[in-house]
Amino acid sequence: MRAQDLIQRKRDGDELEPEELAALVAGYTSGEVPDYQMAAFCMAVFFRGMSDAETAAFTRAMLHSGDVLDLSDIPGPKVDKHSTGGVGDKVSLALAPLAAACGVKVPMISGRGLGHTGGTLDKLEAIPGFQVRLPVERFREILASVGACLIGQTERLAPADRKLYALRDVTATVESIPLIAGSILSKKLAEGIDALVLDVKVGQGAFMRKTEDARKLAEALAGIGRATGKRVVALLTAMDEPLGLAIGNALEVVEAVEVLRGGGPEDLRELTVALTSEMVLAAGLAGGHPEARRMVLGAIADGSGLARLKEIVRAQGGDPRAVDDPSLLPRAASTLTVTAPRAGLVQAVDARALGLAAMTLGAGRTRVEDPVDPAAGIVLRRKTGDYVEEGEPLCVLHLGARGAAPPRLVAERARAAFQLGTVPASPRRLVLERIA
């Protein structure tokens, strides 16, 4: 079959057969189908969409474009968590060791930050010596012995998605639910997991700004999971303001450790417990949500979650002393406090604006190959609902060595992200919906 025929049929709204989609993906992976034809296909999908059957078949084709890990010889249920990306989202750093402490095996393949959203790999690499590029055999060894291992995507796991992800980024076809769903699940199912918990962000700082769009994506992901014999549970969570107080890699490591010690910001702690509880439940280790939550809170209270993080760090080449001593993490040479221009109640905090401000300080990147400064970032001193006097701190900039803009300019951008007023802000629930 010719690629141009499949492109034309999808352009005209036809439904493609599973074997046709498999041939297209295989041809693209091998190089037989060039980028320009796959770009045309993606644009056709962007406008015409895909049926549930097509999306499932497309996902399976990308999944089987490379290796699929077989972890059946490792005892215990294998469950992973994926977030669609947000500002200050360091949940995985606390969630993986907590879930492992509760008996879940967590084979987590994560990504890097891009644009205004952070990436788990960048945060982990802020820990001195931590290795995110490991051979598959070492990944399996750590998973079996420690219970969790967090690495980047390997060359042989879902290679079609790796090529397609880069292509979609430069052809304005990122915002397509079938393509997003296929991208997420092809990588995650290649890990050899039994179940997957999704954190689908909604709001100003999220990829999906409207609840209905996030719901469609979550339902598509859950549907593909069912079609491939895996259980997929999704939580729709608010991302209008940053999660927690810290934005930036080393800063977020410190905050995640605070959660494992039983502290940390309330919203970060709440979401970490909620998502980890879903993992325990999906693993079949608890009879219901109340029991799963008790198990997770117990792993925080008895210190087993924190101890498991140190084991993960040690196993992956990092310095476990950095978990207890934040001074061993990268630190900014200087800071700049951003103050309130007038007194008032914080009505809103623009997560996207602060994420972009942190990126210009050096905490993020505009291209995947760009370096990041692990010490750079922002720490909030006020959030929605807080009162602030004129001249009091709104946030503190941790200045990176490779900032792309003058600090004073970034400070003005950060100040503009805080909306002040006289009327108390209406509270918004953190977990909006659960879809299974």
- Which amino acid would we find at residue 34? P
Cβ proximity of 329 and 250 under 8 Å: yes
Q: Count the Cβ atoms, other than its own, within 10 Å of residue 337.
A: 14
Cα distances from 105 to residues 33, 147, 333, 402, in angstroms, run: 38, 5, 39, 38
Element (H, E) at 355: helix 351-358
What residues have CB less than 8 Å from 391, skipping those under 6 apart?
A: 339, 340
DSSP states of 284-297:
T-SSSHHHHHHHHH
Burial of 342 by CB count in 10 Å (0-12 exposed, 13-18 middle, 19+ buried)?
A: exposed
Q: Number of helices (H) and strands (E) in the chain: give both, helices first.
A: 17, 13
Output the CA–CA distances (angstroms, integers) from residue 2 to 7, 18, 42, in the order listed. 9, 15, 16
Q: Give Cα separations from 68 to 157, 190, 308 (angstroms).
A: 7, 4, 27
> Degrees (nearest 5) of the Cα angle 251, 257, 259?
110
Angstrom distance (rounded) from CA 413 to CA 433:
32
Catalytic residues: 82, 161, 168, 183, 187
Contact by Cβ (8 Å): 244, 90: yes
Taking the CA atoms of the chain, what radius of gyration do you get in angstroms?
22
d(CA 318, CA 156): 25
> Pairing between strand 79-83 and 148-152?
unpaired
Six-digit token pair at 244?
A: 């927690």
- Exposure letters 211-220 (e unless 16+ CB within 10 A, then b): eebbbebbbb
* Three-class SS state of 213: helix
Q: Which helix (H) or strand (E) holds 148?
A: strand 148-152
Q: What six digits make up the tokens of 22?
A: 């498999």
